[in-house]
Amino acid sequence: MILVTGLNTYLTLRLAEPLHRGLGQAGIHVISRVLGLVLLALAVPFVLNGLAAAGIVGGALASYDDAAGVARRSLRRRGAAGVGKRGLRHSSRRRRTRHPRRARETPRESLRGGRPRARGADLKTGISNSSCRHSSSEMRAVVAGICRRLGKVYGPVEPPEQWPVLDELIATVLSQNTSDANSSAGYEELRRRFRDWDEVRRASPERIAGAIRQAGLANRKAPRIKAILQRVFEDRGELSLEFLRGLPARRAEEYLARFPGVGPKTVACVLLFACRKPVLPVDTHVHRLAQRIGLIGKRTSAERAHEELARLVPPKRVLEFHLQLIRHGRTVCGARKPQCPDCPLLDLCREGRRRLVAGELADSPS
Ligand code: SF4
């Protein structure tokens, strides 16, 4: 400040005469005004600081500092949000560092065909979006939540009666692609017409088909049943599969999977219901609900679902999970018109949340 004032005085004294000759009285007047304003602009902060030090205008200066701070923070935010390449790289690196798990989960969700979470969906619905991106541990917690809630609605599950393993296998083959009522009727008629399994083994496929007609697809199921009985007889020398109870689940699965017309669901039903091994059958209800809830991808096949759900459902919950999802699929989450507004799983369910956000639930029957 002192330097500027001295320089100003020096220039005035040294250049006054030549300028006066060159510019005239009006030019000198203009230059004086400009220099005066410069000095005033330089002097004002000094004066204000002095007054602030004396505690006279502290509030005003604090406001100024606040405003400057806001401006600086705003600039920093814009930089972090990715203005320019450097900003973008910096921003993404920081996110990965702070949320490593979320960064790993995103590709898996996209592999499963899950949509990105709608921005602000939780604000619109008031429903937590936390289950949009389930990690494996979160999905296990969802499985536990499903069992707990459905248990409250439908009551605890009653484990079905344990049948001989071979009986269970034949009954499950008959239950393929038909209703429980029809497959039960077909099984009862088969047992009524034949004295034992050996008589069925020696009967013609046509005769077997005549007995199981009510179970549907009789001409396809009859040769399968005959082939299964023949193979068991050749393997074991008797018509019994009771030895499977003593095998580890994996070996029992491999053994059963060799029979014609016996897929993962049939294998799992036999091992779960007859042998009480923790192998989850993925029937049409379990498959549909697991897809809708988001435990598996929307396009995950039933066969693949057996593997994926086996990793999520703990052994002690397999029977409960299977039976409760069937109950729920039959009563609330039907194939064509799921009744989401009445569903106790709504906040856990990907499809239910999607319908809610899309405003589709108003049309659902309640
Ligand atoms: S919220 Fe809807 S889609 Fe989801 S399980 Fe319940 S009824 Fe099914």
Q: Transcribe 66-89 into DSSP letters.
A: HHHHHHHHHHHHHHHTTSHHHHHH
Q: What is the mean pLDDT of the chain?
A: 76
Which CA distances in Å does 353 have to 115, 330, 348? 12, 20, 8
pLDDT tens by residue, 294-319: 999 999 999 999 999 999 999 999 99
Q: Check residue 27 and give its pLDDT.
A: 65
24: left (phi over 0), alpha (psi -120 to 50) or beta: left
Contact predicate 217/176, CB 8 Å = yes
Q: Are 131 and 300 in contact (CB under 8 A)?
A: no
Which amino acid appears at position 56 of this protein? Answer: I
What pLDDT score does 360 carry?
Answer: 84
User: Would you state the pLDDT for residue 299?
Assistant: 95
CA 237 vs. chain centroid, Å, equals 49
| Cα angle for residues 290, 272, 233 (degrees, 5° grid) | 130
For ligand 1, pick from 284, 346, 356, 361 the residue to mutate: most ligand atoms within 8 Å of CB.
Answer: 346
User: Is the confidence at residue 106, as pLDDT, over 70?
Assistant: no
Q: Is the torsion defined by CA of 279, 285, 291, 294 positive or negative?
A: negative
C-beta 289 within 6 A of ligand 1 = yes
Q: Is the pLDDT of residue 142 over 90?
A: yes
Domain 165-274 classification at class level: mainly alpha
Task: Return the percentage of the chain with pLDDT > 90, whole number.
Answer: 58
Higher pLDDT, 144 or 66: 144
> Residue 113: its pLDDT value, please?
30
Q: What is the pLDDT of residue 19?
A: 63
pLDDT, tens digit (0-9, with 9 covering 90-100), for 222-255: 999 999 999 999 999 999 999 999 999 999 999 9
Question: Is 292's C-beta closer than 6 angstroms to any atom of ligand 1?
Answer: yes
Q: What is the dihedral of CA 236, 241, 245, 247, to 10 degrees?
A: 40
d(CA 5, ligand 1 centre) in Å: 81
Spans of all domains in the chain: 1-38, 141-157+281-363, 165-274
> Residue 313, class by beta-carbon neighbours within 10 Å (0-12 exposed, 13-18 middle, 19+ buried)?
buried
Residue 199 has pLDDT above 80, yes or no: yes
Q: How far is the CA of 323 from the centre of ligand 1 (A)?
A: 16
What whole-number distance in Å separates Cα of residue 204 and Cα of residue 319? 37
Cα torsion angle, 49, 53, 54, 56, sign: positive
Q: How confident is the model at residue 350 (pLDDT cuts 50, 70, 90)?
A: very high
Q: Is 343 left (phi over 0), alpha (psi -120 to 50) or beta?
A: beta
* pLDDT computed for residue 153 by the predictor: 97
Q: How far apart are CA 307 and CA 109, in angstroms?
A: 17
Angle between helices 84-98 and 100-111 (to 10 degrees): 90
Q: Tell me which of 271 and 5 has the higher pLDDT.
A: 271
Residue 206 tokens read as 């046509």
| Tokens coding 257 | 């999977």
Structure confidence by residue, pLDDT tens digits, 276-296: 999 999 999 999 999 999 999
Ligand 1: does its nearest atom lie under 6 Å from the Cβ of 343? yes
Q: Return the pLDDT at 36.
A: 67
Q: Is 351 in the pocket of ligand 1 (CB under 6 A)?
A: yes
Q: How confident is the model at residue 138 (pLDDT cuts 50, 70, 90)?
A: confident
Is the pLDDT at 208 greater than 80, yes or no?
Answer: yes
| pLDDT surpasses 60 at 85 | no
Q: Which residue's CA is the nearest one to ligand 1's atom 8? A: 333
CB within 8 Å of 80: residues ≥ 6 apart: 87, 90, 91, 94
pLDDT tops 60 at residue 94:
no
Identify the residue with better confidence: 83 or 163: 163
Q: What is the CATH number of domain 141-157+281-363?
A: 1.10.1670.10
Q: What is the rounded distance in angstroms from the CA atom of residue 135 to the CA atom of residue 138?
A: 5
Q: What is the pLDDT of residues 11-36, one digit of tens each?
A: 666 666 666 666 677 666 666 676 66
Q: Compute the distance between CA of residue 152 and CA of residue 334 in angstroms, rounded to an integer.
A: 19
Ligand 1 nearest-atom number relative to CA 352 = 1
